[in-house]
Chains A and B, each alone.
Chain A
């Protein structure tokens, strides 16, 4: 049930902001500070999520195969690999390190 509540809230919230962008008159959100904040908010969230989903195990911080996978993804990004290849690199390297027993 909790999962459905979370899904319902996310569906409503995410659709509402998408629609708001198309409906709201241009002037309302064009203030430089608001635009700047909207651009920086995803940076903060994505950075925190990347770090947590790489190094968190419940409430503990751990260094395991995922870190190696993310390292591979970072290298792929520096080499300008396409999106799918970046994700694949992370998955394959993580699986490989686990198989070896890291």
Chain B
């Protein structure tokens, strides 16, 4: 049901300006897989998945439009996740090592972070599958942001 919801409201399948080739679809899909794998490795340290996505972004900067577009979308979504995850991470650290205590605010924040991370995870998996098939997927907010940042060279 969650996925259906995302499909209808948060994620839009749109026509891309051209039909991506098989190779392009594979690389674009990998940019999402990259952040997925990094989430698993980097769960305790939120910076790891950002670094992985950045590396992938820079190595594909000169690639085709379709690949660049999806690398950018993966990167900027990671950036905002980094922000909320880092706050959660350092909040936890300060509870363990300083005289901060667990409060209702803290628990609510962590639950919100988990919810947003889950939503991002679902969106990432879905998009990785779709882009692999060469289908162009634009996320709510991040899609239009990517359209501003990432322009076709032609």
A and B pair up: no
